[in-house]
């Protein structure tokens, strides 16, 4: 016997899929992507929050999935959980050093900013960054993923970069690629290609790992003119290192 689809269910799944794809999205964006009326989107989001699959960000009012979405798929990759865990650490670090933090996850040939403390930073170089894609080859948060993931994954990502439409990926030679990997791993953290704009700011980023696997990247962006002294850079690097270590420890806690 064939039944007509239950529209409330199909709409709820469409909303959940959109939130899962977007990292942090608002009602307007969900409405635009799905065509579902905004009042209905709001009711469905509240239902998904009550069910534990979605949370609302207190500062931006955007919506993101929780790690409970793992219950819906054996292919869950862990990104929602690492973002959940890392958010409070990012908030705390920005309160301590004032510079904005960002947390990113992999998206084909780039990483995507899933969380940012720009709203809490009085001295942020940027006004907004959520959802922004950052190349693996040129940007600190992308390099932090590329340079610290396992060699087998690096080889796959290298092929992806060659075919990328982003010149920051496709125009990197094999020798430059190898030097970037070697130097970044030797330092223990990644930095933006200094030849890329905006040159007035810089970013330092670390991988968040589980064993050899990189789950996400965590970075701080600053004005170069404000960090002329090497000691100031060391302060940010050590604060980042300690924060990421604490995040990784919490991720290992059952």
pLDDT digits (tens, 9 = 90+) for 148-202: 999 999 999 999 999 999 999 999 999 999 999 999 999 999 999 988 988 888 8
Residues whose CB falls within 8 Å of the CB of residue 57, separated by 6 or more in sequence, listed in order: 24, 63, 64
Task: Name the more confident of 71 and 201.
Answer: 201
| Mean local confidence (pLDDT), 130-138 | 90
d(CA 47, CA 204): 39
- Structural contact between residues 191 and 204, judged by C-beta atoms closer than 8 angstroms: yes
Q: Is the pLDDT score of 134 beyond 50?
A: yes
d(CA 66, CA 137): 29
pLDDT at 71: 65
Q: Is the pLDDT score of 11 beyond 90?
A: no
Q: Is the pLDDT score of 76 beyond 50?
A: no
| Mean local confidence (pLDDT), 86-113 | 93
Q: Is the pLDDT score of 43 beyond 60?
A: yes
Burial of 37 (0-12, 13-18, 19+ CB in 10 A): exposed
pLDDT at 17: 83
- The CB density around residue 17, as the number of other CB atoms within 10 Å, is 13
3-class DSSP assignment, residue 62: coil
Lowest mean pLDDT among 64-73, 211-220, 223-232: 64-73
pLDDT at 52: 86
Q: Residue 223's beta-bridge partner residues?
A: 201
Q: Residue 206's beta-bridge partner residues?
A: 218
Helix and strand totals (H; E) in the chain: 9, 8
Q: Is the pLDDT score of 237 beyond 90?
A: yes
Q: Is the pLDDT score of 144 beyond 90?
A: yes
Residues whose CB falls within 8 Å of the CB of residue 240, separated by 6 or more in sequence, listed in order: 93, 189, 204, 205, 206, 218, 219, 220
| Mean local confidence (pLDDT), 133-144 | 96
Write down the pTM of the prediction. 0.72
Q: Is the pLDDT score of 128 beyond 80?
A: no
pLDDT at 72: 67
pLDDT at 55: 86
Q: How confident is the model at residue 73 (pLDDT cuts 50, 70, 90)?
A: low
């Amino acid at each position: 016997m064939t039944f007509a689809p239950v529209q409330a269910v199909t709409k709820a799944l469409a909303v959940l899929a959109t939130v899962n794809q977007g990292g942090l999205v608002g009602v307007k964006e969900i409405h635009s992507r799905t065509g579902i009326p905004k009042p209905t989107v709001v009711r469905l989001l509240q239902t998904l929050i009550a069910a534990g699959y979605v949370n609302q960000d207190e500062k931006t009012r955007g919506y993101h999935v929780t790690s409970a979405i793992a219950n819906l798929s054996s292919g869950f990759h862990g990104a929602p959980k690492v973002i959940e865990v890392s958010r409070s650490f990012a908030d705390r670090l920005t309160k301590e050093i004032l510079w904005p933090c960002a947390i990113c996850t992999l998206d084909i040939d780039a990483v995507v900013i899933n969380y940012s403390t720009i709203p809490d930073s009085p001295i942020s170089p940027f006004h907004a960054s959520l959802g922004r894609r950052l190349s693996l080859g040129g940007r600190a948060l992308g390099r932090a993923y590329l340079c610290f993931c396992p060699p087998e994954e690096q080889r796959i990502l290298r092929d992806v970069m060659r075919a990328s439409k982003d010149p920051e990926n496709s125009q990197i030679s094999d020798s430059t690629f190898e030097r970037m990997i070697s130097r970044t791993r030797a330092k223990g953290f990644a930095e933006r290609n200094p030849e890329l704009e905006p040159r007035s700011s810089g970013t330092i980023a670390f991988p968040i790992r589980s064993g050899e696997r990189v789950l996400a990247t965590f970075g701080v962006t600053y004005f170069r003119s404000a960090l002329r002294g090497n000691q100031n850079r060391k302060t940010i690097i050590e604060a980042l290192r300690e924060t990421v270590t604490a995040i990784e420890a919490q991720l290992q806690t059952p």
